Amino acid sequence: MYRKIIVAIALGGLDRGQDILRKAASLLDAGGEIVALNVIEDVPTYVAIELPANMLEDAMKDSRDRLQALVAATEVVATVEIRNGPPAKAIIAAAESHHADLIILASHVPDFSNYFIGATADRVVRHAKCSVLVERHKI
């Protein structure tokens, strides 16, 4: 069905990450590729001044280790990629650079300001140039 799938996984929701990785595997064409992606948000400069210089590198290493462990636990073959920046923008950029034909991401339980789907999911749905599957949290 799909040749290249970006699976955006928030490290705060690793159990949901397993679900969407398995869903991606079920939608993947033979010979296709899955990219498991985590995005580390930028820290505002006024906060970054007070933090250790190597904090971003440490956060990226920790994210890569945790995402690789998740991929191994699901037994889904996937490439792990870590990016930093605004999450929606980084997810869309990853999809474009990989020429993905599907993005899968989970949506958190929304508040009033983003009632139907989460803020990141909402932005990805509105701006992605490929299909987007939003896995809703079962309440």
- Which has more pLDDT, 86 or 57? 86
**For the chain, how many residues are written?**
139
Distances (CA, A) of 120 to 34, 106, 133: 20, 10, 13
Q: Which amino acid is at 69?
A: A
Domains of the chain: 2-6+9-56+75-87+98-136 (3.40.50.620)
pLDDT tens, position by position, 67-124: 999 999 999 999 999 999 999 999 999 999 999 999 999 886 555 555 555 688 889 9
CB 102 within 8 A of CB 134: no
Mean pLDDT along residues 24-38: 97
